[in-house]
Amino acid sequence: MLARVRSGALLGIDAVVVECEVDMALGLPYFNVVGQAEGAVRESKVRVISALKNTGFELPQKRVTVNLAPADLKKEGAAFELPIALGVLVAAKQLEEASVARLLFGGELSLDGALRPIKGALPLAVAARNHGFEGVMLPAANAPEAALVEGLRVLPVTHLREAVDHLTGARPVTPYVREEAPDVPGRDGTGPDMADVRGQPELKLALEMAAAGGHNLLLSGPPGSGKTMLARRLPGILPEMTFPEALEVTKVYSVLGLLAEGHALMRERPFRAPHHTLSDAGLVGGGAAARPGELSLAHNGVLFLDELPEFRKNVLEVLRQPLEEGVIHLARANQHITYPCRVMLVAAMNPCPCGYYGVAGRVCTCADYRRFEYNTRVSGPLLDRIDMTLQTRPVEYQHLAPAEAREPTSRYYRERVQAARERQRDRYRDEPGVHCNAQLPPHLLRRHCVMSRRAEVMLERAVRKYGLSARAHDRILKVALTRTDLEGHARIEEVDIQLAIDFRMLDRVNHPHASTQGPRASQAEPTFRPAGASGPASPRE
């Protein structure tokens, strides 16, 4: 007899519905699994047979063939064991096929029939809803994750016997009910706080603007000047994730099995800080199984690359396309996979290998050629994709003294960032795929970036003076627009453009005839907020 039970196979961060076809025929006792089954799937026949016997079911002495269709899709993991076991029971006429027709199944079996949690329960539930299934039957540990999908019945089971009893009607399983509404993911407030950072007002302003607009940021300066300390406090001032954003992040972590126990939904924006020995496949994803990399794990969050020039050049160069498009396309011989990677790139580097080039009171021990070789490890095209580049300096003693006034907290910055993001969401509500200023495509730039005449003149002079690319021009506009959102300006003013230009330090430093002060610096100075200030900054003109 032929039986069919539906399950799902992961393809990227989505699931594809798979039919587990079980054929039971006369012949020598044999159990075979076909359909591009990888190692763990091929081994599932041993666990299925033991689980069925130890649960009290009698297996006929027949030839059993299991086909996982579509056959051209690789099947990995242990999620097929529960549907295969149920398919064997249907083929042996110990279950009615109608009882399994409207459900999608997934679960790993232990030898005694107990169910263990699986990876990718959330994508499996999404696939079940999209293909019109009434519900999913999953291990109880995966039920909170699957219940995030609206309009789907989730049946949590802990044992094969419990699953069979539900399908026969002997003891129906109570559907899982989500305990709390996931509308606004929370923040526990236990992370590093901006109040710990003394002084550095210009760096705090840059961090606030980067968070408000989702801009990429590079900090360059000597050791101990606060680069890493500031970067690790960035997640605390980022806006709350919306539920759709949180669901996207949760899917990535679900397929890798990285969701913490008891946390079905990713509530905090990710912060990933990989070591510089990372490979290109580890960064963008790939390998034999084409798994997500650090870029996708940082989706809707922050990817922090400390000691940027120490990363291998081929690793850094693969960042170019993902930073522009927000997705990664992995091509394999028989499949193409797309992973999301809409991230804020935050990088930190020293000015030279010893770290003290240009630092007052310290002597740089690096030869000129070593400084040149060190800085050219980061290519121009990659730097062009970074919106804001800043020079950090050692903190002066008066800022470290105990008598220094208390610095603004992360909560203060987060409230301002949240307000700016709300303005952007309202502005882009009719623009699909655009959530913040950094994601604004070129064809929409002029529509939303309304400048005063003086601001236009200043931008034109900066482009001509520093030989800026079209991409750098657009990124200056986006940063200036973020400044207007933070301060509530009706249009981009001269001070906004000046600040955006000042926050592209490398464009000025690398230009042979440019000063480090930026164009017309005497007419429009950068606006900084004094330490301890509780209100918005005022332009100093």
Gap between the Cα atoms of 41 and 75, Å rounded: 7
This prediction has a pTM of 0.86
Burial of residue 277 (number of CB atoms within 10 Å: 0-12, 13-18, 19+): exposed
Low-confidence ranges of the chain (pLDDT < 50): 181, 183-185, 511-541
The pLDDT score that the predictor gives to residue 523 is 34
- At 67-88, the pLDDT tens digits run 999 988 889 888 999 999 999 9
The pLDDT score that the predictor gives to residue 188 is 56
The pLDDT score that the predictor gives to residue 248 is 93
One-character DSSP codes across 329-377: EEE-SS-EEEEE---EEEEEE-SSSSS-TT-TT------HHHHHHHHTT
Domains plus CATH for the chain?
2-168 (3.30.230.10), 216-386 (3.40.50.300), 411-534 (no CATH)
- At 131-148, the pLDDT tens digits run 999 999 999 999 999 999
Gap between the Cα atoms of 436 and 71, Å rounded: 42
Pick from 116, 434, 456: nearest CA to 257: 116
Inter-axis angle of helices 44-54 and 81-91, nearest 10: 60
Tokens of 537: 């900054």
Using the 8-state DSSP alphabet, how is residue 408 labeled? P
- 3-state SS, one letter per residue, for 500-541: HHHCEHHHHHCCCCCCCCCCCCCCCCCCCCCCCCCCCCCCCC
The pLDDT score that the predictor gives to residue 86 is 96
